[in-house]
Structure formats: C-alpha cells, structure tokens
A and B are shown apart, each in its own frame.
Chain A
C-alpha cells in the first residue's frame, strides 16, 4: 500500500517542483511535510549544472544570443537544480510578467530578468515590482524607453496595473496616465542605440550588447500626481508602494499563485484559501514565500480535491520527464531540440506569445500539442538506458516477490514509481491488459536493454501516455 505521506509529498513536489524520482521523494519524506515545505521555500545555494561547464561545450549558451540556446540554458538549470522551487517561481513570474523575445531580440536580457525572478521571486511583492520596473527587458517590451517626461507612453503604466497587479476595474484611466508619468525617465543604457538594434534585430558587428537599467533624471516628470486618491510628487517607487497596499492587488497575487501552485479552477474551497493567502500577504509585508506557505499548509491543498487539479504546462511536462529519467545531467548535444519541443507543445520558454502570457490549464490541450506531449514523455521514460529508468527497474525488482512481477504488479509498480499517479479503474485495466501480453515478468538476472527490461520500458511508455499523466 502506498502511504498517504508519500502521495502528499509527491503532490507537493509536483507543485513546488517538477515532480520527483523515488530517491528524491524519499529525501523529502525524511524531512517531514513541514520540513519539506521550508526547504523548498528557502532555496539557498542550489546545486545545479555549473555555468563554466555549460559554456565550455555550448558556445550558444555562452553567448546567449539566440532563442533556442538561451531557452536550453534555462532548461539545464531546471533539469539539474537541487532547489526546484527557485526555478518554479521564476517560471511563475515569467508566465505572469510575460516578456518575449519576439520584440526584444535580446535573450541575455530575458535571462537576466529570470535571474531577477530567482533572486526576488519569493520575497516582497513590492520589491519585486520595483525590480520589474527597472528591468531592461520589461522596459523595452512595454515601451517604457519611449515614456518621456515631455510625452508619455502609457503602455507599461497600464499593464503594471492591469496585468501585473490589480487587474482591470480597480483604477481609472487617469490613474493609468499618472502611473505612466511616474515612470518617465526609467529607461535602459544607450536606449536609442539598443532600441534600433532590437527593432532590426541587428547583431552586427559583434553580436549583442547586453542591457542595464538607466535612470534619466532630466527625462523624468517630477510634477505632482494624483494616483488612486493619493497626491504627491510620486516617482515609480512611491506608485508601487500605493499599488501593493490595495486589496485588489492582494487578491490578484493570491489568485494567480493559487492557480499556478494550487488548482486551475478556483472552487469555493479554493476561494477560502485565497482569502487566507490575502491575509498573509498583508500580515507578512507582501511576502510571496509566506503566501505560498499558507497555501501549502491549507487543508484544501492537502485534500484530494487539489490533487491532479492542474494540467501540466509544457515546461513542467518536459522538465519533469527528463528529471525522472535522469537525463541531461551533463552538457549534451541536442538539449536545444528539447527546448524546441516545448515550443511545439505551445510553451516556448522566453517567448510567451503576448504580454498576457500563455493560456494555461485546459487550454494547453489541443490535438497537435497532445501528440507532442505524449510522444516526448513516452520516449523519454521508455528508454531503459536512462539512469532514472534503470533505477525504476531496480526498484521494481527489489519490491517484487523474488524478481517476478504479475501484470498487475508491473502496472501498479510503474504507476507508483512515476508518481504515485492515481488513475481511473478503466485506465488501470488497460494498463494491466497491456502488461499481460507477455504474462508474468521475470526480472531475475536482467541485463541492460534485454527483453525483460524492454517490457518495463513499454509499460512506462504507456503510463506516460495516460490521460492522468497529463495532470499535475
């Protein structure tokens, strides 16, 4: 029997990470649930593939000029990190503050933004918004380099309110204009030259020049502004201080966190958790980490209702399968193809389609994307040469009755070790029938790649192709 603790821990690790191999799961189980939550929420000094190794073999990931190499560079980080929550929160903010290569032609700037999400993504939402407003990639993405004291461009000011904090209906058009005025002069170094290069995606003569924030005092409108009922000679920081005080902001942030880490759909029980997270938002001084702690300890999160209540996003799907299979643990030819695969599934890292981000949840699923999703994980998890799959085979043997597995043992064992995954009775009976094709499986004396191991690989392929595996 699979213990409830195991089921719950696997659930936590699918949400606060990218799922877990059985070895990883056991490490976290040894900490207890509370200890595991704290470990995940307090990433320090992650163990991951070192930059020097990556750059030595992958010139494209040293230069980080082009999209596929840059997405692959982040992939390596997600695949190899010992602190998965750090990457998961970066992915969350990347989805919410969606900034895309399409307009920037500057992958390095996007990766610097992702680094900022790692650095600040679990801390204060107020500080995060300030950093976001100073982020050169965001500045170009939403035209704040065109937002001048003499003539405002309200694109960033509007999206800051509409898409990044309060949501529509909680401010007036005047607030948008005043907000934009406060961010005049917030630009990037060599803004004019950099925007010409971005606009023609010119890489000549010597590749890209990375970006940094620049404040042009002379271009800042220092006059009096009235914003959400408060008046003063506000600069950007003061505007953000007002934004984060709003109840609408608390609700917005709590809801988005809930939908990414809790469940796609907000039910009544979910709504209650969101209220708790909002209370934590204010009591903690806008700390994201504390809001997530509230979520992970909530009764709803621990209940059956939250389990498998999210459709895995393509990145979660791909990274989860690779981590489970134990592949790409050192620089390897072909990693950029993996990052392209996520794009084919509908989620190209560093290239969200619009500032709205991706349409998540059930909208990940269409027939083209489903074929890509199933094919990728089925291939990744059925390859018996992969270290993670080898370890599954060893565990199946160790857990069996003298090395022999009945068809139902094989099906249940694979479901357990890839999750545990809960499947419907119909799905399970198909899996057992499939396993029955060759009768009992004898793993005694199995050799790498032999028929017995292939049978496990075939079973894992089918488990990875279930509807249930599509869910987190």
Chain B
C-alpha cells in the first residue's frame, strides 16, 4: 500500500494524517509544527513553532488519534515565564511534565500535563553561556528512565545531562566531525537501555552514546542513498532498538536496525484529515477541482530535488522535522511545512 521500500523485517503501515493549517491564534489545526510528544493517555501534544507573522500564536496544541482537538496552552511569545521565541523540541518525563527547549531564550520550560492538567506552567531553567549547565541554542531534548534530561546544546557543540529540575550533571562533545564531536546537533533520543542518540545535523549522521556520554557508534553519511542522510533533525528508538530518523533534507524518514543497518524509507502518503474533510465540505467547488487534479505530478529537471518535489507533491513529507513514538508501536512524523503529522503503525 505504500511508498516505503523494504529490505528486511520491519513494516510500517500508514494509518492517517492529522492536521490542517491554522493561520490564526487559537483553535484546531497547527502552525509550523516542530515536535510531537505523546502521553501515556493517548493525548498528542504538538509544538507550534509559528512564523513571525503569527509569532504571538506560539503554543502547544493537544489532540488525540481520533482527531478531537482538545485545546492548547502556552503563554505566548517572548522571554517571560512560560513564553517562547524559537521553541524547538519537547519531551515528557515520568511525571507528565513536558519539557520544552527554546533555542532563542536559551532555556528549558516545563509545563505540567499530568492527570487532567492541560498545561500549567511550572518553571524554566537554563541560562545563556558556555559554562557547565549553561546553554547556547538548546535544541533536541530526551529523557531517560530515571528522568534525567539530555539537552542538545547546539552552539556549544555538546550534549548536557540534567536532573528533571535542571540541575547540571554532566556534558560531553566538542565541535568537529570526529567521534563524539558535533556540528550543530539537533534531535535526541534515549533507548530502553538508556543509551543516548543524537541527530548530528550538519555531520549528516546519528551518534550513539552510553548514558554517560561514552561514544558507541555513528550511523550514516552525507547523501541521498539508503542509509545516507541530509541534515537529520530527529531520532527515535523503539523497544526493539529500531532507529527512526527524520531525514529532513531528503524529505523522508528512514528506519535503521539496532545495528545501524538500513531498513526502510518512508516518503509520506498523506490523506485528508477529518479537519480537511470539514474544510472541503464547506468549499465544495475547490474540492471538485482537487479531485480531478494530479497531486503526484512529474516535474521538470530543475525542480527535481527532494525539497522542490515535496513542495509540489502534497502527499509527501515536506519538512519532516520530528519523529516520535508512542507506547503502541505508532510513529508520528511532524511536517513543518504542511502543518500536519502522519501516523504509521509498526506491524
């Protein structure tokens, strides 16, 4: 059924697409989603990065897999308590606290989403700098089984480990392309053994470390081939150790085996969300033309790059910036440029 290519056992079935453009300041739909976190109760938190025209609308939206829009939270744009300027990534800890990085404010902001809480601001921590525990452009964030928080400190070319209250524990890394070095790293993930994976963005690879930062392995190289990456932004690890990578520059998602071997590629196969169907119900003349259009066109040579192809081919991923997993084998791929996410189910 799919645009995926397979070389071994893992199979991902497309489930559905959730989302619609929201160019306003509230209500259902998304504005340049940048990351997704899925709660144990099935609530899906979507970080809306928002563009400068709608900067004040920066917020976290909440929905579920049935496409009910449950609300949103955040305190708007700025550097005040609970506010964001350039929010990047989120992670939930075991207490239902959502930790959100902001690469412009150089800090991590925590909201409570436990129980019936729908996003009460708790605190923020971190300050700009290069010393231990100081941050310069915090990007990816991941939390291990003991609620230690790993923050990708992109401009300091390192990973820092904190307690969930933001107390500094350790850090590692320096600028470069050698083992354990980074070039503008972005996403982070932790596997069931609490090993740490980093999307080493400008080195086009994923690096794997022990929980204390000892280098274990690096996967991938620059390119468009299988197992190669163009600016990987995000990584996620399932219980069996499969590695999901948002291969952002190639506008695709790749899955690697636990040993880093290539498994499969997803190019995206979005369909109309419920919210999209509502839109077309009140805009039938637009729907009629859409139905007879070819949304998978062939393009002239000068537009034959992944970016241009995705800009012209609506079902494909465009700006697949994050990969997230829930506890039920589902993969969520957030697409910044299409204001939606696609859901896949591991067989």
Contacts and interface: CB of A to CB of B under 8 A. Distances in A.
Contacts of A58: 51
Give the residue among A52, A58, A211 with the most B Cβ atoms within 10 A. Answer: A52
B48 to A, nearest CB: 10
A58 B20 CA distance: 20
B225 interface: no
Contact of B32 (A52, A59, A112, A333): A59
A206 B277 CA distance: 12
Interface stretch (B38-46, B125-133, B333-341): B333-341
B52 A69 contact: yes
Contact of B34 (A59, A197, A333): A59
Contact of A192 (B85, B201, B270, B289): B289
Contacts of A108: 311
B293 A192 contact: yes
Contacts of A190: 293-295, 297
B300 interface: yes
Give the residue among A51, A197, A210 with the most B Cβ atoms within 10 A. Answer: A210
Given A205-B275, A206-B19, A210-B311, A60 B51 contact: yes
B276 A205 contact: yes
B270 A206 contact: yes
A52 B307 CA distance: 11
A66 interface: yes
A55 B303 CA distance: 18
Contacts of B285: 196
Interface in A200-245: 200, 202-213
A50 to B, nearest CB: 10
A203 B52 contact: no
B312 interface: yes
B86 interface: yes
Given A108-B311, A193-B289, A212 B303 contact: yes
Contacts of A213: 300
Contacts of B275: 205
Give the residue among A68, A119, A190 with the most B Cβ atoms within 10 A. Answer: A190
Nearest to A192: B289
A198 to B, nearest CB: 11
B279 A204 contact: yes
Nearest to A51: B307
B312 A205 contact: no
B104 interface: yes
Contacts of A112: 303
Contacts of A210: 303, 308, 311-312
Contacts of B184: 56
B67 interface: no
A333 B85 contact: yes
Nearest to B33: A59
B295 to A, nearest CB: 7
A336 B50 CA distance: 14
Contacts of B65: none
Interface in B22-50: 23, 32, 34, 49-50
Interface string B124-152: 00000000000000000000000000000
A62 B337 contact: yes
A151 B254 CA distance: 49
A188 B273 CA distance: 27
Contact of A336 (B52, B302, B313, B336): B52
B319 A212 contact: no
A202 B51 contact: no
A266 to B, nearest CB: 36
B134 to A, nearest CB: 20
B234 to A, nearest CB: 12
Contact of B294 (A52, A189, A336, A337): A189
Interface in B294-347: 294-295, 297, 299-300, 302-303, 307-308, 311-314, 318-319, 336-340
Contacts of B233: 56
Given A60-B51, A205-B275, A189 B297 contact: yes
A213 B303 CA distance: 11
A24 interface: no
A209 B270 contact: no
Given A59-B336, A189-B294, A196-B289, A205 B52 contact: no
Contacts of B21: 203-207
A58 B49 CA distance: 10
Contact of A200 (B86, B201, B286, B314): B286
A68 B231 CA distance: 26
Contacts of A204: 20-21, 276, 279, 283
Give the residue among B275, B279, B318, B340 with the most A Cβ atoms within 10 A. Answer: B318
Q: Which 3 A-B pairs have the closest CB atoms?
A: A60-B51, A205-B276, A210-B311
Given A52-B231, A206-B20, 7 more contacts: A51-B307, A56-B201, A59-B49, A205-B280, A206-B270, A206-B338, A333-B52
19 contacts: A55-B319, A59-B32, A59-B34, A59-B49, A59-B51, A60-B32, A192-B289, A202-B286, A204-B283, A205-B272, A205-B280, A207-B338, A208-B311, A209-B313, A210-B311, A212-B299, A212-B312, A333-B104, A337-B52
Interface of B: 19-21, 23, 32, 34, 49-53, 85-86, 103-104, 184, 186, 201-202, 231, 233, 249, 270, 272-273, 275-276, 279-280, 283, 285-286, 289-290, 292-295, 297, 299-300, 302-303, 307-308, 311-314, 318-319, 336-340
